[in-house]
């Protein structure tokens, strides 16, 4: 049943007691901002069709984190 599915989805991760209880915005923003693809490996070439989705995801995430100003808008648009 759908209710059963929702119950399973609620219990999919066990968090440790010492896990952060707040979103570490700066840490997430730094990670997203520093994502740099290795342009010559075969994985990069094979995933080219996913690149625009990745850019959209990164820009959206940075906007939600309130860190959109840290992104290089000109580089994104020129891509």
The ranges assigned to domains in the chain are: 23-78
Model confidence over 26-78: pLDDT tens digits? 999 999 888 876 666 777 777 777 888 889 999 999 999 999 999 999 998 98
Tokens 């094979």 found at: 46
- CB-based contact 62:70 (threshold 8 Å): yes
pLDDT at position 39 is 66
**Integer Cα distance of 2 and 22 in angstroms:** 30
CA dihedral over 16, 27, 32, 23, signed as positive or negative: positive
Tokens of 1: 């049943």
């Amino acid at each position: 049943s759908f209710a059963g599915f929702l119950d399973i989805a609620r219990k999919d991760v066990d968090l440790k007691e010492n896990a952060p209880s707040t979103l570490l915005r700066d840490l997430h923003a730094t990670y997203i901002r520093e994502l740099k693809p290795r342009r010559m490996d075969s994985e990069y070439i094979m995933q080219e069709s996913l690149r625009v989705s990745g850019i959209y995801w990164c820009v959206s995430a940075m906007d939600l984190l309130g860190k959109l100003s840290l992104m290089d808008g000109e580089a994104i648009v020129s891509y």
